[in-house]
Every structure is written in structure tokens, then in C-alpha cells.
Structure 1
Amino acid sequence: MIQLENLTKTFETPRGVVVAADKVNMTVPTGEICVLLGPSGCGKTTALKMINRLIRPTSGRILINGEDTADRNTIELRRQIGYVIQQIGLFPNMTVEENICVVPRMLGWEAKPAKARAAELIDLVGLDPHHFLYRYPKELSGGQQQRIGVIRALAADPPVMLMDEPFGAIDPINREIIQNEFLKMQATLKKTIMFVSHDIDEAVKMGDKIAIFRGGRIEQYDTPDRILSHPVNAFVADFVGADRTLKRLRLVTAEMIADPGTPAVARGARPQEALQAAKAHGGRTVIVIDANHRPVAYATVEELSGAHGTVGDFAHPLPATVPARADLRAVVSEMFANDVMWLACTDDQGRFAGVVTQPAVTAMLGQSSGQPLTN
């Protein structure tokens, strides 16, 4: 857990005293990601750098897991906090493995466990240890270098990580990939992370909490959903954007609002059997599945009424399916692309997992953010 208590930083300038951080108060629970967001010069990077004492506070306290960092040796403190910056800063004369092992070796780790840790982490971010551990930074793409920079900060298993626009210099495709890999890794490692960003979409995707800064102060500190649905003032509303309702689509996956009870029948099922299943459910559609329970087609109640033969004789191919884990932004995009009002969802094995509809999406967006985003 990270606690900032009345954290203040002032600088003397020829024009007078400048307040970079003005009584910042916030608590980041253990295992959560907090994104610091705001315009340039708002104090978010200053607040981040005070945590590992790259900038010394003028007043206030910083506690990590209940311990006041002012009582810690600066070098020891920094070695126990992972730090990732946009410029990466890999040592060009060291291999990837040597770069990752820098801090563990400084902390006295033996070579064997340090190397094992490097191999474990590089695998976590989707890079093959056999192909990448012995390369030099110049032999890697920018996106690959950024991944190494992230896991180097994790090598000594620090309880806290500080990240200053870590993906800002990466192209959009690689940024999305790295963000996804990082979130998978965080689901396993559960570090306490402070993350500076300028990008509201990145903040919504990455953060458990978001702190919106202005003029050295926190305007709002809350969950992404609360900030998007209930901005506390005009500044926050303008900053997160007029499309903030649509941004909430990132926060919900298809499986959270899908109807798993939509009837599914085999191709060889009799129309009357499928019709009874549809009526029992109260819906207008039946999903047709193959032998592996994968959705492949559909039929309507109107088509089933009075039909003969099997459902497969007149079922229509599905225009598309979506993974149940996909966020609703991707789901709605797929609906628009195929001009449909609903889509079948699939689980990680490709099996039928329910149907998500446009009315269900609309209902979700209309929910009060104080209510859980569930069916």
C-alpha cells in the first residue's frame, strides 16, 4: 500500500515560489494500479518522483506498507521500488539477461536465481527466453526494449512499481500488445503501481483507480467508472472528454452482460425441439452449435414455426462471433461492422458462452456507477 499524506513540493524560481504539488492525499491499496492523469505541468510526475525520492518533498509524508520512507536510506529505498520510464534506459553493452539481473545482483542475489528470474519474467511478457536473453538492446525493436525495461524493474520482486509514461513512445499497435501483456503479468504478480499517463484511454484500461491532477492538486481520485460517469466538476468532465459515456465500454467485457441462457441446439435438432427451447427462454433466436459446442449458425422463431427436417436445413451462418473476454468497445464495433443487433460470444476454447445484444449494452451504459456492472 502507498499512502501520500499532505504531500507538498515547492520550488524557488526567479519569479517566486512555484507549488508543484499541493497537499496531495491519496491511498493506493496493495495490488492495485493507480494512474496519475492530467495536463502537462499539473504535478503528477512530481508526485511520482517524490515516492522514490528523486525529488524530495517540502512537507508531508509518504508511507509504503505503513513505513515512513523518510526513515529509509535513499539507496535502499530505490532498490526496493521498481522504476520504469519512457526512455527505457537499457545498458547497451549488456545482454538482455544482464540488464534484467542488474538490481538482483546489486542486492546480493546469486547468479543462478537471478538468471532464473530473468527467464521467468521475459516469458511473462510474451518473449521467448531462448531467443531474447542473450541479445543486446540494439538487436531488439522499440516495443521489445520497452518490455525488457518493464520486467527489469520487476526483477528483484519489488512490492511497489513507479511507471512514468512507460508506453508513451511506442506505436499504437505495440502499445496495445504491451499493455495487454502487462495486465496479464499484473494479474499474476499483483504489484502496487503508480502510473503516470497523459492518455485517458490508457488510464481507463490500465487503472484500478485514477487521480486527475490540476495545478498540483487532485481534482478527483476514484475508479475509472466513477470518473467517467460522475466527474466531480467541469474540469474533470472536459479532461476525460465528451465521449466519456462511450469510454465506459472499455470497462465491461462481453461475458459480464451476455445472456448465457440463449438456447443452443445441434444442427440435427428438430425444429419443434428448438422452438420449444426458444419459447421457454422467451427469446426470438436459437443458436446452432457444432459437435464441439462452437456457435456456427442461428435460426429464428418465425423460421422454426411449422418447419420440417432439421434446424441445420435452414439455419443462417453467424456473421461474426466475439470472445467473451472482449471489451464492449470491440463488441459494439463488431456489431456496427456487421449491421447486427446481437452477437454470439465464445469462451477461451471457442465454445458458445451466450449472446450479447445492443439493448444490453445500452442498459449497462445507463446503470448508475454505484451499481455493479453485471447482468
Structure 2
Amino acid sequence: MIQLDNLTKVFDTPKGAVVAADHISMEVPAGEICILLGPSGCGKTTTLKMINRIVKPTSGKVFIDGEDTTGMDTQQLRRNLGYVIQQIGLFPNMTIEENITVVPKLLGWDKARYRERAREMMAMIAMEPDAFLKRYPSELSGGQQQRIGVARALAADPPVMLMDEPFGAIDPINRTVIQDEFLKMQQELNKTIMFVSHDIDEAIKMGDRIAVFREGKLVQYSTPDDLLAAPKNAFVESFLGEDRALKRLNLVKVREVVSDEIGTVVPGDTLETALAKIDDFGYQNSILMVNDQRQPVGLITRAVARTTRGYCRDHFQNVPATVNLDDDLRKVASLMFAQDTTWLPCVDDDGRVCGQITQRAMTHHLGARFRAQETNDLTPDAATKE
């Protein structure tokens, strides 16, 4: 959907020419979010602004859906590109409805259509239309204004959206909420998005692809998983941080690591039965008790099963936590640390036990990618020396 072909910007300054973007070439497939990532002054915002010609390229071309935009009317180009900036940029003298419908009006939509579109946009960003459409930006919180900025960019249903640190000015709690809401919207809208950020955690969470910039150059363009597992050079590796292996926890879902081999007992089983099953799963010090619907209702510990007689229903502890198949490994690791356990039961959307996830399985899954990369990086000579 978006293709940059040797896109370059050179600024003339009193001290000479400054190359802000140096022959940037990349493609963003339709329906994906591409994050432009890097330190301040690396050229990512300049690159974004050249796409909608807020900054005029010195050389190179931009293609949108295969069409060269070089000869396209600038205003027409911008009306077909949604644009969201960190400072939000709402018109203070316009109501929320008027802000959202600016571009549809310019495109000649009739009144009934653009007013209905405003209500649709408000519902999409989880804000009640009747409560907010007639208000002015000054009457909204910063987080609410940011949502309106996103709604305005989406109002004319553009195929491409450009976002320049759109959530950067929002406090961490609201930022996380808005990021989550935006990702939910993207699942329905399937827009092609270029998104500037300097926050590696945001990039990993939001991006299908990440482009890392340094001093005007595109250093690496990869999926988040490839970027974390195989940084191209020392700069990318240092920018990602020493905890890049842990950052991959955000990218892996429980369903990728879960094992369906899990021992369970029912309330009517004896503690002797429970102990025998615990021994079958030697790395665990407890076993899960489930009801007739195979929902977790308790834990039987090895210590209790070994020293007590009776039935499981009379000697169980509460289940400390469960995880869903669509949870990420970061949540799992947090729960394991909080509950001082090395395994957790996994449940489906109906709360039925479908397996377990262990600390050992998580470690193996994360380490396998790095071991594979190290093997690929070995040259024949290096491998011989090894």
C-alpha cells in the first residue's frame, strides 16, 4: 500500500546542507502498522511528513497503492491520508462534531451523511455521541482529545493513516487504554498505518513491522520478533536494550507455548490418588482439582497429599491464578512471579482447563529463537573453529 523509493530530504542551513532522510526505501503492505522508531533527530518524522508533503522531498518517490504521488494535487493527496499528531491539533473554536467532519465536508459529503459519520466515529472510540459531539475541545481531557484526533483522521475512511507520536502526550495509564482501543479498531478497520514513535515498548506492542532509523538512514526494517531476536548491528542492539529477550514476552501468546499434558483430580479422588498424579508430573509440587465442567476449583499440594488422608474436596487450596490462551507471556511471567509458582493452568473462553504453561516451556520457547539465530550467524569458518 505504501512504497518509499529512495526518499531523500536535504535541508539547507547556514552551516551547510543537512541530510535529514537519506535514500529511504521500504514498503508497507496493506492493512499493516509500520512503526518508524529511533532517537530524536534520526529522520523518522521527516520521512513521515514527506508522504503527505508537509515536507517536500528533495528526491525520491512515494507510491500509495501503486500510484506515484509526485504529480498529485497536494490537497487531494492529504484528504486521502488520515493524519494524527502528538499535539492533537483540534480546532478550538469548533465543536467535536465540526472537528470530526472537517474532511468529509471538504470532500462534499451531504449533511446527513457526515453527521452520521461523526456519530459512528464516536461510538468507535468509545465516547457517547450525545454527551460529547456538541462540546468544544477545551471541555475534554487530554486523553479524550487524543481520541477525537484519531476519530477525525478516520472520518473520511482514508486507506492510509499517518501518525506522529499520537499517544506521546498522554499519561501512562490512559496511554495503555488508548493503545488497546486503537488496536481493537485496527482489527476491524484494517488500515495501512505509518506510526512514528521513540518508545520501543510501544513499537513492539503496536507494530506489524518496525523501521529503525539512525542519523537519517534506515538501519533495519523487520517484524518485531525478528528485530528483537536478530538486531542488525550494535546500534540497534543497544537501542533495544539488554532486556530485549524479555521484551519478546509481549509477542508470544500462551497458545504458542501451552501443553495439553496436565494432571488433574476431581473432588471425589483420594489424596493418595493426588500424590500419585503429582509424582507423574515430577516438576510440579501440586495438582489441579477440577469440577464436572472441567473448570479449576482448587489445588492439592504435595505436602498435604503426602501427610494427610482423605479426599481432595476436603484438603484443597485456592487456585492462585489462571491464564487464557490469548494472554501474552508477559502477563504469565508476572503472575508466576507474584504467586511464586513455576506453572499455571490455562483455560479457554468458557473457563475450562485446556492445558498448562510452565516456566521451563517459556524459557525454552524464547531461547530457541536466539539459539537458531546464533547458529545462522556462524560462518563456515567460524563453525569449524567452534
Length-normalised TM-score, structure 2: 0.88
Structure 2 counterpart SS, 1:355: strand
Cα separation, 2, equivalents of 1:169 and 1:35: 17
Cα separation, 1, equivalents of 2:294 and 2:11: 65
Quote the offset at 1:325 in angstroms: 2.6
Structure 1 counterpart SS, 2:70: helix
Cα separation, 2, equivalents of 1:207 and 1:97: 30
Alignment-derived partner of residue 13 in structure 1: 13
2:199 partner letter: D
Deviations 1:42-76, CA, capped at 9 Å, x for gaps: 11000000000101111111101100011311101
Deviations 1:243-285, CA, capped at 9 Å, x for gaps: 1111111111223212234244543456687788878889855
Quick check: 1:150 aligned with 2:171?
A: no
Alignment of 1:255-270 (within 5 A): 255-268=255-268
Cα separation, 2, equivalents of 1:134 and 1:240: 44
Deviations 1:99-126, CA, capped at 9 Å, x for gaps: 2122112212222332332222322223
Structure 1 counterpart SS, 2:369: coil
Quick check: 1:330 aligned with 2:331?
A: yes
Quote the offset at 1:297 in angstroms: 1.5
Structure 2 counterpart SS, 1:71: coil
- The answer (yes or no) to whether the contact 1:36–1:211 under 8 Å persists in 2 is yes
Structure 2 counterpart SS, 1:26: strand
Cα separation, 2, equivalents of 1:136 and 1:84: 18
Cα separation, 2, equivalents of 1:275 and 1:124: 52
Cα separation, 2, equivalents of 1:135 and 1:292: 50
Quick check: 1:114 aligned with 2:114?
A: yes
Compare 328-337 and 163-172 and name the one that shifted more: 328-337
Cα separation, 1, equivalents of 2:250 and 2:93: 41
Alignment of 1:220-259 (within 5 A): 220-259=220-259
- The answer (yes or no) to whether the contact 1:259–1:355 under 8 Å persists in 2 is yes
Quote the offset at 1:361 in angstroms: 1.2
- The answer (yes or no) to whether the contact 1:262–1:283 under 8 Å persists in 2 is no
Cα separation, 2, equivalents of 1:204 and 1:350: 29
Structure 2 counterpart SS, 1:108: coil
Alignment-derived partner of residue 87 in structure 1: 87
- The answer (yes or no) to whether the contact 1:274–1:286 under 8 Å persists in 2 is yes
2:369 partner letter: S
Alignment-derived partner of residue 169 in structure 1: 169
2:315 partner letter: F
1:315 partner letter: F
Alignment-derived partner of residue 97 in structure 1: 97
2:84 partner letter: V
Alignment coverage as a number of residue pairs: 371
2:33 partner letter: I
- The answer (yes or no) to whether the contact 1:225–1:369 under 8 Å persists in 2 is no
Alignment of 1:310-321 (within 5 A): 310-321=311-322
**Unaligned segments of structure 1, at least 5 residues:** none
- The answer (yes or no) to whether the contact 1:261–1:281 under 8 Å persists in 2 is no
Structure 2 counterpart SS, 1:61: strand
Cα distance, 1:168–1:292 mapped onto 2, change above 3 Å: farther
Structure 2 counterpart SS, 1:227: helix
Alignment-derived partner of residue 212 in structure 1: 212
Alignment-derived partner of residue 58 in structure 1: 58
Cα distance, 1:200–1:130 mapped onto 2, change above 3 Å: same
Cα distance, 1:352–1:125 mapped onto 2, change above 3 Å: farther
Q: How much is the aligned-residue C-alpha RMSD, in angstroms?
A: 2.5
1:289 partner letter: V
Structure 2 counterpart SS, 1:367: helix
Cα distance, 1:347–1:78 mapped onto 2, change above 3 Å: same
Quick check: 1:365 aligned with 2:360?
A: no
